[in-house]
Amino acid sequence: MRRGFRGELLSLNDDPSFVGSKAINHQEDGIIVIEKGIIIARGSTEKITSDFPDLPVTHFPNHLIMPGFIDSHIHYSQVDCIASGGETLLGWLEKKVFPIEAQFQDKSYALTTAEFFLNECLRNGTTTALVFAGSQPQSVEALYESAFKADMRIIVGKVLMDLGPENLADTTEGGLLDSKTLIQHWQGHGRLNYAVTPRFALTSSSEQLAGAGQILNEYPDIIMQTHLAETKAECAAVKERFPKARDYLEVYEHFGLVTDRSVFAHCLYLTDSAFERLSNAGAGIAFCPTSNLFLGSGLFNFMEAQRHSVKIGLGSDIGAGTSFSLLATMGEAYKVCRLQGYNLDPFHALYLATLGGARLLRLDRYIGALTVGQEADFIVIDPAATPLLARRTADASLAEKLFALQIMGDDRVIAASYIKGKPLWEKPAMRPS
């Protein structure tokens, strides 16, 4: 059955930092038409009602309809670590994260956490995510099972860490075998995909890192995710362990992990050469401002990544990150850029959280732009969700309204999250007409 959804439509069809305002696809009063979970038409209300005269329409007056947000870096196994402060990265992992992640030995705990995690994503407008699970295969299975029921596009991987603490470490071969088994059972099942996932260079042996590179090469439809150059202390430790590598990135290059299917979180301390090599390889970066600020790790050099045309998406990085909301993440990204003398345009920020994230995850043919032929993952946003937002956005231009939502918005502005045209989360007070 066909159905229309009417409101103020906004999406990006390209990177506005390169093509300017031509990237903005906006209908002040428009309708998207959905059939079998796919967008089959989009346009002004006048045109769509003329083309589809008997179309049942759900109307969201004074609301924005936008693509669902895409979180390019998040740890579902760290939900219960949020707001655990007082440490920098390596100490935070040892004292805060690893004890929590050990609980994922219990499949029932993993399932409960997975269901909470996905609901929290939807409540914040995130409809797709690239996710770190724990080092236990059942942690991945729990998230896959929950995401499959919800028909969400989720990419997840079992953390590889044969040099981790005793209660979390896998074995070199066992971790790789578990990864391959998960790929064979789940890759392409529904809307699910796999990411081979070394935690970072320090927690895997050279043999395991080499095996991860072999898996990435063996399965051309999967991607690779890991962390890179998040803190100075981490970079120094990597240099001590791999003294022959010219920089941190070369460690991953040596093991075949830098490809056009690779996503590296953070990347705060990269040389000009490393940015250039990432760009040449077609690899991308997940920009995680809230976690970088919370742990005191540093500031991502967004301008340098842009200069080298490196693909960039936004990551909440829960649990070092402080909010599931990618609107809040956009606001912190703006502040990180301002501290370095750069203005992050609100349309560019939205691009990073939608089509830019889709391109980073190689999903842009399916999601990210609300264009005809794409899957109908979209969110409904209320610009007047709080009294202050209502006052600030009244009679504001589109750019001003979007910017205000990014600086002051959070889960409260998400009125509904739709997956393939079906409402998986709705604000209790939401009553579409």
Residue 430's pLDDT is 58
Residue 432's pLDDT is 56
Per-residue tokens: 249: 């990135």
- Give Cβ neighbours of residue 349 (< 8 Å, ≥ 6 apart): 314, 330, 333, 334, 406
Distance CA 53, CA 115 (A): 40
- Tell me how crowded residue 241 is: count the other CB atoms within 10 A of its CB: 13
Residue 424's pLDDT is 97
Q: Mean pLDDT, to the nearest integer, of 68-76?
A: 98
Angle at 68 between CA 66 and CA 69, to 5 degrees: 110
Position 297 pLDDT exceeds 60? yes
| Extents of the domains making up the chain | 2-68+367-426, 69-324
pLDDT tens-digit readout, 264-282: 999 999 999 999 999 999 9
Q: Mean pLDDT, to the nearest integer, of 230-258?
A: 98
Distance of CA 78 to the CA centre of its chain: 15
CATH architecture of 69-324: Alpha-Beta Barrel (3.20)
Distance CA 130, CA 121 (A): 12
pLDDT band, residue 428 (cuts 50/70/90): confident
pTM score above 0.75: yes
Distance CA 274, CA 267 (A): 10
Q: Mean pLDDT, to the nearest integer, of 77-93?
A: 94
pLDDT tens-digit readout, 44-67: 999 999 999 999 999 999 999 999
Q: Mean pLDDT, to the nearest integer, of 87-96?
A: 93
pLDDT tens-digit readout, 337-359: 999 999 999 999 999 999 999 99
pLDDT tens-digit readout, 196-209: 999 999 999 999 99
Secondary element (H or E) of residue 303: helix 302-307
Residue 431's pLDDT is 52
Residue 153's pLDDT is 98
pLDDT tens-digit readout, 143-191: 999 999 999 999 999 999 999 999 999 999 999 999 999 999 999 999 9
- Give Cβ neighbours of residue 239 (< 8 Å, ≥ 6 apart): 245, 248
CATH architecture of 2-68+367-426: Roll (2.30)
Say which residue the tokens 């004292």 belong to: 95
Q: Mean pLDDT, to the nearest integer, of 227-253?
A: 98
CA dihedral 77, 293, 125, 134 (to 10 degrees): -10
Distance of CA 176 to the CA centre of its chain: 24
pLDDT tens-digit readout, 116-150: 999 999 999 999 999 999 999 999 999 999 999 99
Per-residue tokens: 45: 């209300």
Whether 290 contacts 258, CB under 8 Å: no
Position 429 pLDDT exceeds 90? no
Distance CA 11, CA 425 (A): 20
Mean pLDDT of the chain: 97
